[in-house]
Structure 1
Amino acid sequence: MPRLPAFRDAALLNLALIHRSYANENPEVGQNNETLEFLGDSVLNFLSSHFIYRLYPDLNESQLTRLRSALVDETQLADFANYLEVGKNMKLGKGAIKDKARKNDSLLSDTFEAIIGAYFLDSGIDAVRNFVEPLFESAAEGLLDRKLTAESSILLDAKNRFQEWVQGNLGPTQPKYETIAQSGPDHAPDFTVEVKVGNQVYGVGKGRSKKEAEKRAAELALKEVGAL
């Protein structure tokens, strides 16, 4: 049966499962899992980069970036969370439960990232690597089974494509994504994000998660510069 890793400090795992909607309804719990989510996102990007670098040593930087994007995007991380039955363990507010948040890809993905961040604090990077690499291997095999290459459209994440355009046309700089508005309830928020290079706004996108809004902003930026 799929299962989460064993934690030495059970409080860290408990915190990783606390969504903001639950913390708002139960103020005695204090924190929610958002800072652990931030940490877990960085840990997953590092470990997935190392994993695909070893698995595909002949790919160039652009191809590796695209493949990493497919390996740790919202849908894939939600798949990992579903495999590990994370949804039934998430601590959610009453409104979120009513709206079937346990099956929401964005919340599942965020909670999986929080669990990874918590496990990193609990047991270190090697333990996290041993836990996630079998998941990465399964996902990579799935990509190969569908005969996807590093140039396939599913791997052409809009954010990476826009970053490539920026570096190819504007020089060694990075686009910056900023959340400029948020509305809706805690368990089903709507985000508005703009992408800028320097002081110029290239696109504004909306989505049910920050990641989705960032991708929409990048897509609009690509259209703006004639690259999509």
Structure 2
Amino acid sequence: MHRNLKQLQTALDISFRKPELLRQAFTHSSYVNEHRIGNHKDNERLEFLGDAVLELTVSEYLFEMYPQRPEGELTKLRASIVCEPSLVSFAEQLDFGSYVLLGKGEELTGGRTRPALLADVFESFVGALYLDQGLEVVNTFLRKHLFPNIPNQGKLLTVDFKTNLQEYTQQHSLGILEYKIIDERGPAHEREFVAQVQINDRLLGQGAGRSKKEAEQQAAAQALEALKVDFGNTTRGF
């Protein structure tokens, strides 16, 4: 059962001028499909807008925070912050999953904790907040709830797990690495890929992501964990 959105506004100390925007941000397409009566709108358009707002606000923050960093490093760090695992972490910290309006089928299959859904909801909320109160309020929200986590989040998420796994297997002569996409699930706008990585046909890791590349990175991360490789010694760049 989803929680009341008034509780969320109280928790965040934000009062929406247009509550319907906030409701839309937390309305999944599965809910709209099951409630044809009424003027329900899903959050997909707000997700599109929120993605762009996040790109801008995070870029501005990094530009100010790291004045000596070249463009290439800032681009990589921004990508690590706005990628799905990072956004899921932020959404979980704010308990966004408890407020989502879901269809019965999506609810029964664990949609409330599904990574892709949580990342989308975070972007949708940012988009709704931008439309309701502008960029300055969005920045205030992010500076309170997202930016303080960037140093720790960014350090972990900028690891190139695939490269590290490749180097590790070569150094220890473990054999040949092979990645396979074993599943594609979800509708086209919420596609999720599942990848596995094997060494000499031995399964070492499995991961999921919005793209094949992200799924492979997550699979490599699991493989490195299985091999007991210290992430702290493999972090690059930041």
Alignment partner, residue 153 of structure 1: 160
Alignment partner, residue 17 of structure 2: 8
Structure 2 counterpart of 1:153, one-letter code: D
Structure 1 counterpart of 2:53, one-letter code: V
Aligned pairs for 1:139-150 (under 5 A) are 139-143=149-153, 148=155
Q: Secondary structure at the match of 2:142?
A: helix
CA distance in 1, matches of 2:147, 2:186: 37
Structure 1 residue 79: deviation in Å?
1.2
Alignment partner, residue 212 of structure 1: 211
After superposition, the Cα gap between the structure-2 partners of 1:85 and 1:140, relative to the gap in structure 1 and judged at 3 Å, is: same
Structure 2 counterpart of 1:11, one-letter code: E
CA contact (8 A) 1:71 1:136 kept: no
Structure 1 residue 48: deviation in Å?
0.3
After superposition, the Cα gap between the structure-2 partners of 1:57 and 1:150, relative to the gap in structure 1 and judged at 3 Å, is: farther
CA distance in 2, matches of 1:34, 1:54: 31
CA contact (8 A) 1:21 1:186 kept: no
After superposition, the Cα gap between the structure-2 partners of 1:6 and 1:54, relative to the gap in structure 1 and judged at 3 Å, is: same
Alignment partner, residue 144 of structure 2: 134
After superposition, the Cα gap between the structure-2 partners of 1:216 and 1:48, relative to the gap in structure 1 and judged at 3 Å, is: same
CA RMSD of aligned residues (A): 3.3
Q: What does the per-residue CA deviation read over 1:5-61, in whole Å, with 9 as the maximum and x for residues that have no partner? A: 321111100011110111111123442110000000000010000001111111111
After superposition, the Cα gap between the structure-2 partners of 1:217 and 1:153, relative to the gap in structure 1 and judged at 3 Å, is: closer
Please point out which of 117, 122, 128 is paired with 1:118.
Answer: 128
CA contact (8 A) 1:44 1:113 kept: yes
Larger Rg belongs to: 2
Q: Secondary structure at the match of 1:141?
A: helix
CA distance in 2, matches of 1:132, 1:7: 16
Aligned pairs for 1:171-210 (under 5 A) are 184=186, 189-190=191-192
Q: What does the per-residue CA deviation read over 1:181-205, in whole Å, with 9 as the maximum and x for residues that have no partner? A: x86569975579xxxxxxxxxxxxx
Q: TM-score, normalised by structure 1?
A: 0.66
Please point out which of 9, 23, 27 is paired with 2:36.
Answer: 27
How many residue pairs get aligned? The number is: 175
CA contact (8 A) 1:96 1:187 kept: no
CA contact (8 A) 1:21 1:187 kept: no
CA distance in 2, matches of 1:10, 1:26: 19
Structure 2 residue ranges without an equivalent (≥5): 1-9, 164-183, 195-206, 218-238
Structure 1 counterpart of 2:24, one-letter code: L
CA contact (8 A) 2:97 2:112 kept: yes
Alignment partner, residue 98 of structure 1: 108
Structure 1 residue 150: deviation in Å?
9.7
CA distance in 1, matches of 2:113, 2:91: 10
Alignment partner, residue 161 of structure 1: none
Q: What does the per-residue CA deviation read over 1:139-163, in whole Å, with 9 as the maximum and x for residues that have no partner? A: 223247xxx3997426x9xxxxxxx
After superposition, the Cα gap between the structure-2 partners of 1:143 and 1:21, relative to the gap in structure 1 and judged at 3 Å, is: closer
Please point out which of 52, 59, 68 is paired with 2:69.
Answer: 59
Structure 1 counterpart of 2:211, one-letter code: E
Structure 1 counterpart of 2:160, one-letter code: S
Structure 1 residue 138: deviation in Å?
2.3
CA distance in 2, matches of 1:186, 1:94: 20
After superposition, the Cα gap between the structure-2 partners of 1:150 and 1:142, relative to the gap in structure 1 and judged at 3 Å, is: closer
Structure 2 counterpart of 1:47, one-letter code: T
CA distance in 2, matches of 1:89, 1:106: 15
